[in-house]
Amino acid sequence: MSYKLGVIGFGNIAQAIITPILDQKLIKKNEVICIVNSKKSFENIKKSYKYDIDIFPVSSDKAHLVWNCPTKLLSIKPQQLESIEEINTKTNKDNLLVSILAGISISKLELKFPNHKCVRAVTNIPITIRNGLTAVSWGDKINKDEKILVKNLFQNSSKVFEFPEKYLDIFLALTSSSPAIIALIVEALSDGGLHGGLSKKLSEELVIDMILGTILLLKDTKITTSDLKNMVTSPGGTTISALRVLEDKSLRSALIEAIIAATNKSKELS
Ligand SMILES: NC(=O)c1ccc[n+]([C@@H]2O[C@H](COP(=O)([O-])OP(=O)(O)OC[C@H]3O[C@@H](n4cnc5c(N)ncnc54)[C@H](OP(=O)(O)O)[C@@H]3O)[C@@H](O)[C@H]2O)c1
């Protein structure tokens, strides 16, 4: 049987994308071929990955087979891009290459992979628990069926949005970088609990459940963020005392600036 999907770099994110597709039997395990850089990763994946897929280290004489696949997922780190060389085969003219590399533009991809039609996707870390957000931008000549194929690749592990490429930088800032901001907020609020005499473990549990509950309230009801703020802020009370400190420390402005900085960095890289 010939391979349908070639995966270049089978790390955390590629596995998060591919595993649900195999689980759903949308593709057979013998239709997928993956390559990784090192023998060590190859051996670890062979030993522990739930599916016995065809995987090879780049040094293997079978690794080139990945280039015969009509669709490829490129999932290496952006700084590893230089180590990848497109192998021009008789069959790969106008094949599809889907890249999830942060900050690598479609035009850079098209230069690097001249035999491919390129798609740029941005996804985020919750994709590893099938709760990701993925934005896709299409290069030239991508047809309707190919767009469906690419969306199917991601939608078992994430919500998929189509954007013109110019919006991918802000999408990345809001969805890929912001999990770190949320983690930092959880950590800082928990430290507040610690300061108040609670254990770190309990503080963190309380903060995480508070955030989950608050988000569900915003998501599942029609109340706005300012409604919610007003609901819990009574005159002369505790919440307004807390909010006043945050206004004084310019938290709001700091968060906006953080998103602008991440967006600008993404623009600079691509
Ligand atoms: N982590 C995130 O939060 C996140 C979120 C969204 C998107 N992304 C994007 O997803 C991409 C992958 O990230 P990741 O976290 O999955 O990285 P990762 O776990 O380090 O996986 C990278 C994979 O690429 C392989 N690789 C490196 N050089 C290679 C080569 N020359 N040929 C073939 N395979 C090669 C690595 O093999 P070895 O293990 O043998 O080195 C590894 O399997 C990144 O571009 C990142 O921008 C990441």
Q: How do the residues of the chain divide into helix, strand and coil, expressed in percent and rounded to 5?
A: 55, 15, 30
What's the 134 CA to ligand 1 centre distance in angstroms?
16
- pLDDT tens column, 197-208: 999 999 999 999
Query: Which pLDDT does position 2 carry in this prediction?
Result: 86
Report residues whose beta carbon is within 6 angstroms of any ligand 1 atom: 8-14, 35-38, 41, 58, 75-78, 80, 83-84, 100-102, 123-125, 176
Distance from residue 80's CA to the centre of ligand 1 (Å): 8
Atom of ligand 1 nearest to the CA of 83: 31
pLDDT of 69 above 70: yes
Examine the pLDDT at 90 and tell me if it is beyond 90.
Answer: no
Share of the chain above pLDDT 90, in %: 93
Q: What is the pTM of this model?
A: 0.94
Q: CB of 127 within 8 A of CB of 13? A: yes
How are beta strands 71-74 and 54-57 bridged, if at all? unpaired
As a whole number, mean pLDDT of residues 61-68 equals 94
- Looking at residues 151-173, what average pLDDT do you find? 97
Question: How far does the centroid of ligand 1 lie from the alpha carbon of residue 101, in Å?
Answer: 8
Instruction: Quote the CA–CA distance of 146 and 71 in Å, as a whole number.
Output: 9
- The pLDDT of residue 113 is above 70: yes
CB 119 within 8 A of CB 139: yes
For residue 92, the model assigns a pLDDT of 67
> What is the best residue among 7, 33, 37, 98 to mutate for testing ligand 1's pocket, by most ligand atoms within 8 Å of CB?
37
What residue owns the CA closest to ligand 1's atom 5?
A: 124
Cα–Cα distances in angstroms (integers) from residue 233 to residues 93, 194, 226, 236, in the given order: 61, 23, 10, 9
Could you tell me which residues are beta bridge partners of residue 135? 122, 161
Q: What is the mean pLDDT of residues 43-56?
A: 96
CA of 236 to the centre of ligand 1 (A): 51
Mean pLDDT of 134-150: 95
Residue 89: the pLDDT is 73
Residue 157 alpha carbon to ligand 1 centre in Å: 17
Set out the domains of the chain in order of their start, with CATH numbers. 5-163 (3.40.50.720), 170-269 (1.10.3730.10)
Average pLDDT over residues 135-143: 94
| Neighbouring-strand partners of residue 133 | 159
Give how far Cα 171 sits from Cα of 88, 97, 147, 161, 265, Å: 33, 21, 19, 10, 13
pLDDT, position 99: 98
Pocket probe mutation, ligand 1, options 8, 36, 105, max atoms within 8 Å of Cβ: 36
Q: State the pLDDT at residue 94.
A: 81
Please state the atom number of ligand 1 nearest to the C-alpha of residue 15: 16
One-letter identity of residue 58: V
Band (pLDDT 50/70/90 cuts) for residue 140 is confident
How high is the mean pLDDT of the chain?
A: 95
The model's pLDDT over 11-44, given as tens digits with 9 standing for 90+, comes to 999 999 999 999 999 999 999 999 999 999 999 9
Average pLDDT over residues 99-111: 94
Measured distance CA(250)–CA(63) in Å, rounded = 52
> Biggest alpha carbon distance in the chain?
74
To 10 degrees, the CA torsion angle through 125, 99, 133, 158?
Answer: -90
pLDDT of 102 strictly over 80: yes
Over 70: is that where the pLDDT of 47 sits?
Answer: yes
Query: Shortest CA distance to 16 belongs to which of 85, 100, 118?
Result: 100
Q: d(Cα 53, Cα 41) in Å, to the nearest integer?
A: 14
- Cα distances (Å, whole numbers) of residue 166 to 197, 224, 258: 47, 28, 19
Per-residue confidence (pLDDT) for residue 70, from 0 to 100: 94
91 CA → ligand 1 middle, Å: 26
Contact indicator for 140, 118 with CB cutoff of 8 Å: no
Measured distance CA(101)–CA(113) in Å, rounded:
14
Residue 179 to residue 125: CA distance in whole angstroms: 8
User: What is the model's pLDDT at position 108?
Assistant: 94
**pLDDT tens digits, one per residue of 250-268:** 999 999 999 999 999 999 9
At a CB cut-off of 8 Å and minimum separation 6, what does 269 contact? 78, 102, 103, 104
